[in-house]
Amino acid sequence: MRLLSVNTLKVDSFTGCAPEYAILSHNWEDEEVTLQQLDDLDAASSLKGLKKLKNACAIAKADGYKWIWIDTCCIDKTSSAELSEAINSMFRWYQQAGICYAHISDVSDVEFNRALDSRTPHFPQCRWLTRGWTLQELIAPQELRFYSQNWKMVGSKVLFARILSHATGIPPEVLKGGDVSGITVCEKMKWIASRETTRPEDVAYCALGIFDINMPLLYGEGKEKAFRRLQEEILRVSDDPTIFLW
């Protein structure tokens, strides 16, 4: 596991037991900073994504963390083996993080307040609630705090459990505790069905941790084959008949 130092913006690798760390949940945007680009911070200074890294590190540091995991720069995506290992481990990494910061980059403080203070309080519409990878990033962390466009803390997963449940269909008790073991396969599939991913195969790959299974990634196989393999793995480890109902 690679972690980013909040003090130096340098990445270190850890095997076995990693130190306590914070973790970031966000939508990928233009000019994200990769692992390789962190080797030259002067060159990376022109990238929009560096500001995101620095803001996340500043919040983690203020919370007493020395390390943070951010997917854009803590995975060597030039290595298919490392990428596969990371995706198969990601649910656990979010689960074991001391805290998760969810940056909602397309919603301002004003828009958050308007949605939360309306006659029918609701979580504001945002890309974060529609993307495949952020589903496990919502469920897995024990503690999750939401930050608006300009990195102002607006609330927590526990505080917003009811309105998040209304927006996602995920029961409040799952959002509060992160335990999906008692949820049927059919219900989990419904959570995933409305989510979008940039690469078609990721619709299946982003669900691995939610079903507590591991499988190799085969980018290029297409959405249908990837999803078929996901179902086969679920059937191999589970006798839940609801997989045939969704």
**Mean pLDDT of the 186-212 span:** 95
> Angle 226-2-27 (CA atoms, 0-180°, nearest 5)?
55
Both 114 and 15 in one domain: the answer is: yes
As a whole number, the mean pLDDT across the chain is 95
> Does residue 205 carry a pLDDT above 70?
yes
Both 60 and 99 in one domain: the answer is: yes
> Does residue 245 carry a pLDDT above 80?
no
**Mean pLDDT of the 229-235 span:** 96
Distance separating the N- and C-terminal Cα atoms of the chain:
35
| Per-residue pLDDT band at 152 (split at 50, 70, 90) | very high
Both 184 and 174 in one domain: the answer is: no
Domain final residue, candidates 156, 179, 202: 179
Domain of 20, in residue numbers: 2-179
Strand runs (DSSP E) across the chain, as ranges?
Answer: 2-5, 11-13, 22-25, 67-69, 99-103, 144-147, 153-156
> Does residue 122 carry a pLDDT above 70?
yes
Both 99 and 56 in one domain: the answer is: yes
Both 227 and 168 in one domain: the answer is: no
> Does residue 86 carry a pLDDT above 70?
yes
Domain final residue, candidates 124, 150, 179: 179
Both 138 and 204 in one domain: the answer is: no
**Mean pLDDT of the 25-41 span:** 94
Structural domain total, the chain: 2
Both 13 and 47 in one domain: the answer is: yes
**Mean pLDDT of the 57-73 span:** 99
- pTM beyond 0.85: the answer is yes
Q: Reduced to 3 states, what is the DSSP secondary structure of residue 139?
A: helix
**Mean pLDDT of the 122-149 span:** 97
> Does residue 246 carry a pLDDT above 90?
no
Gyration radius from the chain CA atoms: 18
**Mean pLDDT of the 198-219 span:** 96
Buried b (16+ CB within 10 A) or exposed e, 11-38: beeeeeebeebbbbbbbeeeebbbbebb
> Does residue 62 carry a pLDDT above 90?
yes
Both 229 and 170 in one domain: the answer is: no
Task: Give the whole-number percent of the chain exceeding pLDDT 70.
Answer: 100
Both 70 and 187 in one domain: the answer is: no
Both 169 and 184 in one domain: the answer is: no
Both 160 and 200 in one domain: the answer is: no
Both 141 and 240 in one domain: the answer is: no
Locate tokens 């308007």: which residue?
114
Domain final residue, candidates 151, 179, 207: 179
